[in-house]
């Protein structure tokens, strides 16, 4: 019972966004190209941000969107070869 209360408390602290709002948030705040269709595909295939379902509708916590978008952005580099060095 206490675990459910903690989960409810966390959910209240999070800003939950519907899929269209979540895609707009990622584009506007992070500058990462994102569409509602991309989020739907990633929800099915995996690799997207965490979300919660409320009824039939997915709701994305803003902090999960922040983590996911940040993971899509590379570190700063001064030349392209620096990115290849990291990948090796």
The model's pTM is 0.77
Q: Are strands 57-61 and 52-54 parallel, antiparallel or unpaired?
A: antiparallel
3-state secondary structure of 37: helix
pLDDT in tens, 24-81: 999 999 999 999 999 999 999 999 999 999 999 999 999 999 999 999 998 888 888 8
- Categorise residue 51: left if φ over 0, alpha if ψ from -120 to 50, beta otherwise: beta
Q: Which residues pair with 59 in a beta bridge?
A: 18, 52
pLDDT at site 53: 95
Distance CA 16, CA 22 (A): 8
CATH of span 2-87:
1.10.10
């Amino acid at each position: 019972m206490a675990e459910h209360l903690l989960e409810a408390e966390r959910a209240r602290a999070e800003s939950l966004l519907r899929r269209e709002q979540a895609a707009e948030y990622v584009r506007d705040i992070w500058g990462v190209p994102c569409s509602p269709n991309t989020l739907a595909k990633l929800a099915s295939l995996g690799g997207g941000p965490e979300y919660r379902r409320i009824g039939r509708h997915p709701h994305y916590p803003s902090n999960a969107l922040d983590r996911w978008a940040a993971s899509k952005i590379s570190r700063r580099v001064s030349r392209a070869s620096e990115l290849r060095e990291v990948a090796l």
